[in-house]
Chains A and B, each alone.
Chain A
Amino acid sequence: MTDLADLTIARAASGLRTGEFTAADLLEAVMRRATMTEAQLHAYLTLDHEGAATAAEEADRAFAAGQDHGLLQGIPIALKDNMCTRGVETTASSKILSGWVPPYDATAVARLRAAGAVITGKTNMDEFAMGSSTENSAFGETRNPWDTDRVPGGSSGGSAVAVAAGSAFGAFGSDTGGSIRQPAALTGVVGMKPTYGLVSRYGLIAFASSLDQIGPFARTVEDVVLLLEAVAGFDALDSTSIDEPTPGFGDALRTGVEGVRVGVVTELMGEGIDPEVRAAVQATVDRLADAGAAVGEVSLPSSEHALSAYYLIAPAECSSNLARFDGVRYGHRSSIEGTTEDMMSHSRAEGFGPEVIRRILLGTYALSAGYYDAFYGQAQKVRTLVRRDFEEAYADYDVLVSPTSPTTAFPVGERAQDPLAMYLSDVCTIPSNLSGDPSISVPVGVDADGLPVGFQIMAPALGEQVLFQVAAEVERLVDFQDRARLATSDEVKP
């Protein structure tokens, strides 16, 4: 018999409506899976048993009363710990916020609650979303369910792992430089970064405001669409949210790729990309061509500078965004005696982990007098060049494709002491953050070690329709059936 925890959201949603099972049954299934896997994976920082049970009961009551708030009603969903949840501890995996319980919900969270989703808990992440491995958590790293000696990617590693391991049907994360897509690739699930401004950032603990975007993880493209539709759309609480009606994306899933122009980004298929990853991506491109897509090669010449620009822009914004963590109104306060300035400086030194401190220092320096033009100002201009490259590419192509990550999951500890090597993990994903365009990672195979490979599809701003159209076709063509070892082994089955 199939474990309910392994169902897709779409399948679970229909079962709830036919009375095959209840929301309480679904919750029990994912909580059982969490019980079996958490000791090894540590996907969650907080499992909200009580809140989730209440939400599941409410969903079941709603079904019984004939009320239907949409396809997420009764579906267990996990949230990255940088999304504020009223009444549930939210730390962004930082000691500086340990114990903080937000008095308000992020807009995305409020919309999920209104849709009847059952929030299972808060997932582990790199502290303040700074990292690509989920090793930079103040509360211990998250492991990859395909091989627990390896990282799940990051920073939204916990959300990716919860979905891959079956301790949630879907999850949300945030993507600033690849923090949804890269862990999705490394854990064999679908992860998507929407167009900047499509999902409200209100209540998302900011890392780099001009790059951050909330997005979904799920095991299928269709499920990702369901999750996105529940949270997308204008929010008056976020000035940068796009004030346009959001179309449904579901229709795009069955249209195929006949005539769709697909550009393979040459700069992201060469040096620095693992040969096995490249081969899996190339095989997928060939299948798309066979299915009728018009495939060609396209150059994004500025993309090699995108990484450098990103590692100036993101730290600069973060140095300012994280200034509010000062021990005055919330969070950790140092017990060292002194002036308010001493209190702030020690609270911050004690509360932030090394990667966060590194980026704050880098950003502070890049913005300081005499260096602004050389670093931050120049990086903003490079951002313009990256956008222009994309604009030119989209004149000829409907979507661009590449690997999501240069490598498959790497061993825990391998890059922890080498910031630059870690930063290179994001080389394929960063350009879409700089341009603000939507991008998705779809699993397309495994390497010789049995680790999943992610295929990245990029589309122009608000090009979610064509993005999902191609992603759904890739999913169909590749028919990726592998599941993480921990989600399939006997030790997690009832």
Chain B
Amino acid sequence: MPVDIDIAKVAKLARIALTDDELDQYGHQLEDILEHAERVQALPTEGIEPTSHPMPMVNGFRRDEVGECLDPDSFLSQAPDTRDGQFRVPRILGE
């Protein structure tokens, strides 16, 4: 499979604002890395289960009990912009 990346689309999906030069540069680097990574595609993996977790464990539940919450000041004081005990962001939709 030839590596052909729509790097502008990827950057938008990842929410990273890049200049055209930067897009170009990252695009080439990704293509190099992926060419190397393509070797994994040559491996016969028919019928092989994917491993997404190293240990064969299940569930890892906790009981439905209420614990302590943070004092809002401890995190709101670190936020870039707040108002009335809430986080504030610019308008969500464009003009």
Do A and B touch, yes or no (CB under 8 Å, in the complex)? yes
A242 B57 Cβ-Cβ under 8 A: yes
A interface footprint on B25-68 (CB within 8 Å = 1, 0 otherwise): 01001101110111111010100111111110100111000000
**Chain B residue with Cβ nearest A382:** B40
A378:B45 contact, CB within 8 angstroms: yes
For the complex, would chain B's binding face be called helix, strand, loop or mixed by DSSP majority?
loop
Does A196 lie at the interface of the complex (its beta carbon under 8 Å from any beta carbon of B)? Answer: yes
Given known A-B contacts A343-B90, A419-B29, A329 and B51 have beta carbons under 8 A apart: no
A343-374 vs B, CB cutoff 8 Å, 1 = contact: the mask equals: 11110110010000110111011001000001
Size bracket of the A interface: 35 or more
- Does B94 count as interface, using CB distance less than 8 angstroms? yes
With beta carbons under 8 angstroms apart, the residue of B16, B41, B94 that contacts A357 is: B16
Q: Which of A1-9, A125-133, A334-342, A474-482 contacts B (4 or more CB under 8 A)?
A: A334-342
CB within 8 Å for A383 and B14 given contacts A357-B26, A361-B30: no
Do A362 and B74 contact each other (CB < 8 Å), given the known contacts A242-B55, A333-B80?
no
On whether the beta carbons of A308 and B17 are closer than 8 Å, the reply is: no
Contact of B17 among A345, A365, A383 (CB under 8 A): A345
A458 on the B face (CB < 8 A): no
Contact B54–A308 (Cβ < 8 Å): no
The contact sample of 25 A-B pairs, CB cut-off 8 A, is A103-B70, A196-B55, A236-B62, A242-B57, A243-B57, A305-B43, A308-B36, A308-B37, A308-B39, A339-B92, A342-B17, A343-B89, A349-B17, A360-B16, A361-B11, A361-B26, A364-B14, A365-B5, A368-B10, A375-B40, A381-B43, A381-B48, A383-B50, A383-B51, A385-B48
B26 engages A345 (CB within 8 Å) = no
Q: Which A residues contact B (CB, under 8 angstroms)? A: 99-101, 103-104, 195-197, 210-211, 236, 239-243, 302, 305, 308-309, 311-312, 319, 323, 326-333, 337-346, 348-349, 352, 357-358, 360-362, 364-365, 368, 374-375, 377-385, 387, 419-420, 423, 434-436, 461
The answer, among B17, B48, B94, for a CB contact under 8 Å with A346, is B17
Interface residues on B, range: 35 or more
* Residues of A close to B13: CB separation below 8 A: 364, 368
Residues of A within 8 A of B51 (CB): 380-381, 383-384, 387, 434
